[in-house]
């Protein structure tokens, strides 16, 4: 199959990633490109899912992974970056660094993965290469080395000065010329930076640099490649995707300066499934990068972690974005597997069970949830398959039933993300769902010990019912326990399970607002029975009522879920975020600087955090991100509790 280079395109929405990917493939002769081809993408005109496509330059297969820039679709970046030989962060030359550029840098820069920056849209009237580069340096810590200085004539982007070769290259076969006089200073300065940064990677080169000996383009290029591979040097290039300018140099850099670290072709097969999609024609596709060895049609592999056997049936390589069947794929290449429904997202498959799993990035956790209900009976039937397909292929969509409220909850990265997935379920599976804010899964508990005795007695014609028990309720951190401390035989052993059943029933709906009761220890310590009229059922009634009576006297209260929240926020917003958190009954646990941001750690009730993703976005112009996870249950403050109880009563009426 020859050499391969895998490039992940990342950056803010609208910077031109998809246009660039299409331009590169078209230039290489690919036809019928299908970018942004899902119904939802067509409707909106932007990217939602990763698109993978391959083209050839000389004999090298270049596979591009085009990702969306929308912050709620961030998981696609987490899929592509770990399998890329190069992550190309694309910027809009008029705008410089934007919100998702920051996110992209976090993912690549922190992990020191080979990264380059492409300042695109250089044809635009207000395109400013220098300002864009300055914004990169202001926002990020890294060694950014421009490889080019753009040449503009009368507002047109006409060429670049290649700083490695130190010559001007004009677009459209106008060939090479001398460096324009008005750029001489800028070129000298930029070349100075390039020489200095690059030579810092090689002692011999550093000596030459310091002694002002000539450094050849070849030496520069080789050392640059090392620095790039180490994730230390970040080359900066420029382009116009719509005018097809700068693409040759970009391709040259990709093929010459980017190294591919591949395992041995002779090693046992290992591949990582970095992306799953549901293709309208081919069904589920698992996109894999072969790490070691060769994947072969008809030769089964295993999920190295779970041990599940994976039959390799259809292997597809790409011509542009079009799939075509191949019989094998070698280390370094990206292909898709058809009919591989057992392959899990981010899972490694290999020749043997228990092989080392390939390290992917950890996906962010969902931060926003909605309760979903099918609109009609027909939707009920189709809903579970549609939900399963979406939740299996998307790491940041989680679906499950809340054990307390019994609602079906769909979690995602925000309002846009979830609405879109619901729209997709309608488009693809013809399932209609209603959504609403999920009910908070409050619980009820007690704060002191109390006892109650209850006699259940009924005489209605024939055989009567009789059971009497006395219970003690005590606060108990461990959730629930039931203790039988009957002395003598005031209640015969055979009726005790009846008492406990009654207690469990009573705990399903507490007396305050019908939320489940937790953290109580229940002891049955006395009672009485009737030799003829007693039954398990009668003791169940007694147990239920005794529990309820004791509960009322045990200083009951509501518990609410408390979330642990980490907000990553640019310094200038830190104060605002903290005071907002206090307004949400939150508690700040700590703060830590991280690069040019601050991580604010806090705890806050779920009730106050249900629309946080929207609020945070508007407060910080989208520049802050957060993660949230359930932490614990905690007593609701008295005034809030009254409101919740009143509301629960109202809903019941
Ligand atoms: N003038 C100009 N417009 C561009 C360029 N690249 C992309 N665009 C336009 O910017 C818009 C967004 O492009 P798209 O590729 O969808 O951006 P993405 O969100 O990064 O994938 C489209 O209207 C493109 O035509 C460029 O180099 N120059
Ligand atoms: Mg796009």
Q: pLDDT for 401-426, tens place per residue?
A: 998 889 999 999 999 999 999 999 99
Q: What is the mean pLDDT of the chain?
A: 93
Q: Average pLDDT, stretch 521-549? A: 95
Residue 352 per-residue DSSP state: S
651 in a domain, yes or no? no
Contact 293, 304 (CB under 8 A): no
Q: Average pLDDT, stretch 260-265? A: 78
494 and 615 in a single domain? The answer is no
Q: Which residues contact 459 (CB under 8 A, 6 or more apart)?
A: none
593 in a domain, yes or no? yes
In short, whether 120's Cβ falls inside 6 Å of ligand 1 is yes
In short, whether 123's Cβ falls inside 6 Å of ligand 1 is yes
Single residue among 350, 381, 397 that ends a domain in this structure:
350
Q: Average pLDDT, stretch 139-165? A: 92
Q: Could you give the CA distance from residue 224 to residue 228 in angstroms, rounded to a whole number?
A: 6
Give this prediction's pTM: 0.87
Q: Average pLDDT, stretch 16-43? A: 94
**pLDDT above 90: residue 297:** yes
- Residue 305's pLDDT band, with cuts at 50, 70 and 90, is very high
432 and 469 in a single domain? The answer is no
Contact 40, 25 (CB under 8 A): no
How many whole angstroms from 50 Cα to the centroid of ligand 2? 9
229 in a domain, yes or no? yes
359 in a domain, yes or no? no
How many whole angstroms from 41 Cα to the centroid of ligand 1? 15
Q: In this structure, which residue's CA is closest to atom 23 in ligand 1? A: 14
In short, whether 69's Cβ falls inside 6 Å of ligand 1 is yes
240 phi, psi to nearest 5 deg: -130, 110
Total Cβ atoms within 10 A of residue 297: 14
Ligand nearest to the CA of 36: 2
Q: Average pLDDT, stretch 602-620? A: 92
CATH number at residue 16: 3.40.50.300
To test the pocket of ligand 1, the residue of 9, 10, 12, 19 to mutate (highest count of ligand atoms within 8 Å of its CB) is 19
Q: Could you give the CA distance from residue 71 to residue 620 in angstroms, rounded to a whole number?
A: 13
CATH number at residue 328: 2.40.30.10
277 and 396 in a single domain? The answer is no
Percent of the chain with pLDDT over 70: 100
Q: Could you give the CA distance from residue 135 to residue 97 in angstroms, rounded to a whole number?
A: 6
How many whole angstroms from 331 Cα to the centroid of ligand 2? 28
In short, whether 10's Cβ falls inside 6 Å of ligand 1 is no
Single residue among 281, 316, 350 that ends a domain in this structure:
350
Contact 82, 114 (CB under 8 A): no
322 and 423 in a single domain? The answer is no
CATH number at residue 501: 3.30.230.10
In short, whether 275's Cβ falls inside 6 Å of ligand 1 is no
Contact 146, 193 (CB under 8 A): yes
Q: pLDDT for 469-496, tens place per residue?
A: 999 999 999 999 999 999 888 999 999 9
Least confident stretch, 96-100, 295-299, 311-315: 96-100
Q: In this structure, which residue's CA is closest to atom 11 in ligand 1? A: 14
- Residue 51's pLDDT band, with cuts at 50, 70 and 90, is very high
- Residue 594's pLDDT band, with cuts at 50, 70 and 90, is confident
457 in a domain, yes or no? yes
- Residue 396's pLDDT band, with cuts at 50, 70 and 90, is very high
- Residue 520's pLDDT band, with cuts at 50, 70 and 90, is very high
How many whole angstroms from 117 Cα to the centroid of ligand 2? 16
DSSP string, 386-405: HHHHHHHH-TT-EEEE-TTT
226 and 143 in a single domain? The answer is yes
In short, whether 17's Cβ falls inside 6 Å of ligand 1 is yes
- Residue 287's pLDDT band, with cuts at 50, 70 and 90, is very high
Ligand nearest to the CA of 20: 1
Q: Could you give the CA distance from residue 60 to residue 2 in angstroms, rounded to a whole number?
A: 7
Contact 567, 579 (CB under 8 A): no
Question: 181 - beta bridge partners?
Answer: none
Contact 7, 65 (CB under 8 A): yes
Question: 302 - beta bridge partners?
Answer: 309, 350
In short, whether 19's Cβ falls inside 6 Å of ligand 1 is yes
How many whole angstroms from 286 Cα to the centroid of ligand 1? 28
Residue-number span of the structural domain to which 513 is assigned: 444-554
Contact 527, 491 (CB under 8 A): yes
104 in a domain, yes or no? yes
Contact 328, 297 (CB under 8 A): yes
Task: Provide the pLDDT for residue 262.
Answer: 74
How many whole angstroms from 260 Cα to the centroid of ligand 2? 25
In short, whether 439's Cβ falls inside 6 Å of ligand 1 is no
207 and 221 in a single domain? The answer is yes
Of 103, 100, 63, which Cα lies nearest the Cα of 83? 63
In short, whether 13's Cβ falls inside 6 Å of ligand 1 is yes
CATH number at residue 566: 3.30.70.240
Work out how many domains the chain is built from and give that number: 5
Task: Using alpha carbons only, give the angle 163, 168, 173 rounded to the nearest 5 degrees.
Answer: 130
Q: Average pLDDT, stretch 218-223? A: 91
Of 466, 461, 498, which Cα lies nearest the Cα of 482? 498
Task: Provide the pLDDT for residue 622.
Answer: 86
Task: Provide the pLDDT for residue 371.
Answer: 96
To test the pocket of ligand 1, the residue of 16, 99, 119 to mutate (highest count of ligand atoms within 8 Å of its CB) is 16
Task: Provide the pLDDT for residue 576.
Answer: 94
**pLDDT above 90: residue 41:** yes
How many whole angstroms from 256 Cα to the centroid of ligand 2? 26
Task: Provide the pLDDT for residue 279.
Answer: 82
Better-scored residue on pLDDT, 177 or 278: 278
587 and 602 in a single domain? The answer is yes
In short, whether 208's Cβ falls inside 6 Å of ligand 1 is no
Total Cβ atoms within 10 A of residue 138: 10
Task: Provide the pLDDT for residue 353.
Answer: 95
How many whole angstroms from 352 Cα to the centroid of ligand 1? 45
650 in a domain, yes or no? no
- Most distant CA pair in the chain: distance in Å? 114
Single residue among 554, 569, 602 that ends a domain in this structure:
554
Q: Average pLDDT, stretch 365-371? A: 92
Task: Provide the pLDDT for residue 254.
Answer: 83
Ligand nearest to the CA of 11: 1
**pLDDT above 90: residue 93:** yes
Total Cβ atoms within 10 A of residue 444: 22
DSSP string, 470-512: EEEEEE-TTSEEEEE---TTSS-GGGHHHHHHHHHHHHHS-TT
62 and 109 in a single domain? The answer is yes
Provide the pairing of β-strand 480-484 with 520-528.
parallel
35 and 21 in a single domain? The answer is yes
Of 345, 337, 405, which Cα lies nearest the Cα of 370? 405
Q: Could you give the CA distance from residue 334 to residue 317 in angstroms, rounded to a whole number?
A: 7
Residue 169's Cα: distance from chain center in Å?
A: 41
Residue 102 burial (C-beta neighbours within 10 Å; 0-12, 13-18, 19+): buried
- Residue 280's pLDDT band, with cuts at 50, 70 and 90, is confident
């Amino acid at each position: 199959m020859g050499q391969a280079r895998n490039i992940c395109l990342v950056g803010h929405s609208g910077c031109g990633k998809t246009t660039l990917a299409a331009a590169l493939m078209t230039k290489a002769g690919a036809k019928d490109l299908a970018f942004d081809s899902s119904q939802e993408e067509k409707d909106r005109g932007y990217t939602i899912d990763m698109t993978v496509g391959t083209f050839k330059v000389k004999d090298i297969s270049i596979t591009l992974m085009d990702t969306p820039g929308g912050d709620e679709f961030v998981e696609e970046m987490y899929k592509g970056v770990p399998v890329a030989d190069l992550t190309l962060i694309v910027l809009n030359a008029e705008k410089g660094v934007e919100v998702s550029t920051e996110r992209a840098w976090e993912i690549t820069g922190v992990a020191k993965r080979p990264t380059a920056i492409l300042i695109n849209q250089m044809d635009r009237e207000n395109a400013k290469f220098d300002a864009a580069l300055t914004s990169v340096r202001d926002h990020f810590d890294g060694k950014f080395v421009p490889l080019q200085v753009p040449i503009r004539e009368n507002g047109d982007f006409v060429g670049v000065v290649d700083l490695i070769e130190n010559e001007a290259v004009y677009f459209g076969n106008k060939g090479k010329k001398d460096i324009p006089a008005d750029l001489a200073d800028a070129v000298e300065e930029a070349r100075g930076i390039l020489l200095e940064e690059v030579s810092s990677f090689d002692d011999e080169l550093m000596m030459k640099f310091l002694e002002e000996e000539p450094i050849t383009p070849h030496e520069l290029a080789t050392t640059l490649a090392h620095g790039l591979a180490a994730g230390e040097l970040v080359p900066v290039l420029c382009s116009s995707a719509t005018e097809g300018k700068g693409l040759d140099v970009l391709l040259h850099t990709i093929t010459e300066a980017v190294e591919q670290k591949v395992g041995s072709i002779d090693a046992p097969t290992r591949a990582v499934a970095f992306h799953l999609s549901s293709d309208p024609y081919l069904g589920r596709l698992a996109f894999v990068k072969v790490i070691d060895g060769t994947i072969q049609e008809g030769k089964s592999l295993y999920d190295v972690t779970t041990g599940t056997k994976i039959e390799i049936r259809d292997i597809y390589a790409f011509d542009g974005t079009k799939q075509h069947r191949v019989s094998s794929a070698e280390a370094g290449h990206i292909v898709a597997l058809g009919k591989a429904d057992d392959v899990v997202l981010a899972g490694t498959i290999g020749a043997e069970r228990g092989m080392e799993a390939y390290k992917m990035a950890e996906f962010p956790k969902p931060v926003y949830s909605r309760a979903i209900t099918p609109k009609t009976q027909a939707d009920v039937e189709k809903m579970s398959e549609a939900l399963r397909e979406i939740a299996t292929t998307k790491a940041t969509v989680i679906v499950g039933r809340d054990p307390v409220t019994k609602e079906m909850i769909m979690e995602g990265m925000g309002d846009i993300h979830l609405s879109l997935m619901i729209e997709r379920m309608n488009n693809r599976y013809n399932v209609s769902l209603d959504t609403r804010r999920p009910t908070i899964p409050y619980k009820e508990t007690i704060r002191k010990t109390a006892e109650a005795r209850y006699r259940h007695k009924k005489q209605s014609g024939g055989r009567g019912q009789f059971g009497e028990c006395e219970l003690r309720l005590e606060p108990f951190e461990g959730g629930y326990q039931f203790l039988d401390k009957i002395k003598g035989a005031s209640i015969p052993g055979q009726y005790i399970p009846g008492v406990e059943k009654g207690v469990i029933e009573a705990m399903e709906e507490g007396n305050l607002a019908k939320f489940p009761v937790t953290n109580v220890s229940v002891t049955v310590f006395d009672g009485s029975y009737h030799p003829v009229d007693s039954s398990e059922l009668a003791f169940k009634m007694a147990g239920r009522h005794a529990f309820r009576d004791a509960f009322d006297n045990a200083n009951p209260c509501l518990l609410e879920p408390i979330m642990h929240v980490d907000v990553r926020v640019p310094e200038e917003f830190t104060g605002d975020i903290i005071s907002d958190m206090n307004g949400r009954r939150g508690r700040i646990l700590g703060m830590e600087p991280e690069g040019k941001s601050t991580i604010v750690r806090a705890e806050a009730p779920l009730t106050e955090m249900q629309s946080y993703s929207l609020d945070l976005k508007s407060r910080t112009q989208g520049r802050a991100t957060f993660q949230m996870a359930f932490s614990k249950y905690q007593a609701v403050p008295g005034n809030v509790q009254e409101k919740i109880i009143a509301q629960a009563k109202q809903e019941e009426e």
